[in-house]
Amino acid sequence: MGIAVARSSTSDVVRNDPLRVLVVDDSVVIRGLISRWIEAEPDLIVVGSLRTGRDAVNQIERIDPDVAILDIEMPDLDGISALPLLLAKKRNLVVIMASTLTRRNAEISLKALSLGASDYVPKPESTREQGAAETFRRDLIEKIRHLGARFRRPAAAVVAPSLAPVAERARDAVARPANLPPTLRPFSATMPRVLLIGSSTGGPQALISLVTEIGPVIDRVPVLITQHMPPTFTTILAEHLARASGRPAHEGVDGELIKPGRIYLAPGGKHMRVARHGAGAAIALDDGPPVNFCRPAVDPLFSSAVGFWQGATLAIVLTGMGSDGSRGGKEIAAAGGSVIAQDEATSVVWGMPGAAANAGICSAVLPLGQIASKLNRLFSGDRS
């Protein structure tokens, strides 16, 4: 799956006019609801409200939106069929797929990401439920705003980290903003005994790309992942991770022992933590309050894991909005473990990895394509 390039910050936005949003959904109720939410935001404007994918394809050049909200199930031409036609007419269009929480729609949404969609947003079964509607509204507006800013920013400066030897700096060329701390933390001298990964927007593509290349690492240690995703979507993602890695991957089950050679994914709607079980470690799930507006959240996983593995903990913070993972990452670094963040240039949104990088807790800030090789070297004994 390809990784789209985007930025999360709006500090150096080039254009100040409102983001132009197209809403495509066969439900007049949903179109009206989404349009009202968008129009209530001062930096967003609805430039079209259409019923079918065919209408969108026929009118995309005239409407010229920055962002399209594209329903999956529509008459005449559905969302997954319309997606490549829309991108063919406007290559830099940001497309956010919208779908209800069914297995079929989860599969289609993940497929859409591989075809060029920027992200997805699950629609609640009923917008009459205040909590569900508010979550949908907040997630949708946040994604429109952050993803829509992607083509309005100049490229980030390229700066090399100062700790690594010259040869490794050439391999691990790091793209980062000028305000990042001038030095990175040394990697832990302890061989990692677990690999933790946190991700959000853009995460499914990044995760699949990463696990494809780290088979030897997975064989050595357990891999625990929290991806911000609703139920059903995490079930499908776990299946994709298993196929991509060639290793067992599944949603974590409360109480199961954590073993090397396996990938454990936090199930949608539940936080996944690490609990002590005799001399070993086990999965602990709970449906407690959201953390950083998310459930599952990355911080509970990171914080609980460092309590068991201490300085033998290695964490990766991949693309995503917000700052989830930063607090837990600080605990990992304080305990002597190591944190790697994805760089800005290859992140769909540089919120989560940017927060970790700017907190000064990282031992490396790397392009996605270089993280796997770094992990393979670290787990082979290279501590630099």
**Nearest CA among 36, 5, 10 for reference residue 319:** 5
Asked if the structure places residue 230 within a domain, the reply is yes
Query: pLDDT category, 152, cuts 50, 70, 90?
Result: low
DSSP β-bridge partners for residue 96: 69, 119
Which of 152, 187, 206 marks a domain boundary? 152
What does the pLDDT average to over 305-317? 97
Asked if 185 and 253 sit in the same domain, the reply is yes
Mean pLDDT across the chain, nearest whole number? 88
Asked if the structure places residue 383 within a domain, the reply is no
Of the candidate ranges 128-142, 248-262, 331-345, the one whose mean pLDDT is the lowest: 128-142
Asked if the structure places residue 384 within a domain, the reply is no
Catalytic hit among 49, 200, 304, 338:
200
Of the candidate ranges 23-27, 148-152, 279-283, the one whose mean pLDDT is the lowest: 148-152
Q: What is the pLDDT of residues 41-78, one digit of tens each?
A: 999 999 999 999 999 999 999 999 999 999 999 999 99
Asked if 187 and 49 sit in the same domain, the reply is no
Instruction: Tell me what pLDDT residue 128 has.
Output: 62
Is 233's pLDDT higher than 80? yes
Is 4's pLDDT higher than 70? no
Instruction: Tell me what pLDDT residue 123 has.
Output: 87
Q: What is the pLDDT of residues 168-206, one digit of tens each?
A: 333 333 344 445 443 699 999 999 999 999 999 999 999
Instruction: Tell me what pLDDT residue 246 has.
Output: 98
Query: pLDDT category, 131, cuts 50, 70, 90?
Result: confident
Query: pLDDT category, 3, cuts 50, 70, 90?
Result: very low
Asked if 273 and 174 sit in the same domain, the reply is yes
What single string gives the DSSP state of each residue in 80-127? HHHHHHHHHH-TT-EEEEEEES-HHHHHHHHHHHHTT--EEEEEPS-T
Instruction: Tell me what pLDDT residue 198 has.
Output: 98
Active site residue 373: no
- Where helices occur in the chain by DSSP H, the ranges are 28-39, 53-63, 79-89, 103-114, 130-148, 166-171, 203-211, 215-220, 233-245, 298-309, 326-334, 352-358, 368-378
Active site residue 240: no
- How far is it, in rounded angstroms, from Cα 375 to Cα 218? 10
Instruction: Tell me what pLDDT residue 117 has.
Output: 95
- Give me the half-sphere count of Cα atoms (radius 13 Å) on the Cβ side of residue 168: 17
Instruction: Tell me what pLDDT residue 351 has.
Output: 94
Asked if 147 and 61 sit in the same domain, the reply is yes
Contact 180, 358 (CB under 8 A): yes
What does the pLDDT average to over 118-123? 92
Q: Looking at the 3D structure of the chain, how many domains does it have?
A: 2
How many residues make up the chain in this entry? 384
Query: pLDDT category, 130, cuts 50, 70, 90?
Result: low
Is 155's pLDDT higher than 50? no
Instruction: Tell me what pLDDT residue 183 has.
Output: 66
Asked if the structure places residue 2 within a domain, the reply is no
Asked if 256 and 341 sit in the same domain, the reply is yes
Asked if 179 and 78 sit in the same domain, the reply is no
Which of 83, 118, 152 marks a domain boundary? 152
Higher-confidence residue of 367 and 173: namely 367
Asked if 185 and 304 sit in the same domain, the reply is yes
Catalytic hit among 49, 139, 228, 245:
228
Asked if 99 and 243 sit in the same domain, the reply is no
Say which CATH number the domain at 56 has.
3.40.50.2300
DSSP β-bridge partners for residue 187: none
Asked if the structure places residue 161 within a domain, the reply is no
Torsion angle defined by CA atoms of residues 148, 152, 154 and 160, in that order, rounded to the nearest 10 degrees: -10
**Nearest CA among 261, 247, 213, 145 for reference residue 369:** 213
Contact 274, 258 (CB under 8 A): yes
Say which CATH number the domain at 300 has.
3.40.50.180
Catalytic hit among 55, 66, 139, 324:
324
Active site residue 66: no
Is 12's pLDDT higher than 60? no
Instruction: Tell me what pLDDT residue 206 has.
Output: 97
Which of 97, 127, 152 marks a domain boundary? 152
**Residue 283 identity (one-letter amino acid):** I
- Give me the half-sphere count of Cα atoms (radius 13 Å) on the Cβ side of residue 285: 18
Asked if the structure places residue 342 within a domain, the reply is yes
What does the pLDDT average to over 317-327? 97
What does the pLDDT average to over 110-129? 85
Asked if 216 and 98 sit in the same domain, the reply is no
In percent, how much of the chain has pLDDT > 70? 86
Asked if the structure places residue 373 within a domain, the reply is yes
Tokens at residue 181, please? 């701390």
Query: pLDDT category, 300, cuts 50, 70, 90?
Result: very high
Asked if 100 and 140 sit in the same domain, the reply is yes
In percent, how much of the chain has pLDDT > 90? 79
Of the candidate ranges 34-43, 120-129, 239-248, 288-297, the one whose mean pLDDT is the lowest: 120-129
Asked if 97 and 244 sit in the same domain, the reply is no
Tokens at residue 229, please? 């995703």
Instruction: Tell me what pLDDT residue 132 has.
Output: 76
Asked if the structure places residue 160 within a domain, the reply is no
User: Which range marks the domain in which residue 135 is found?
Assistant: 19-152
What does the pLDDT average to over 222-239? 96
- How far is it, in rounded angstroms, from Cα 54 to Cα 366? 41
Asked if 77 and 212 sit in the same domain, the reply is no
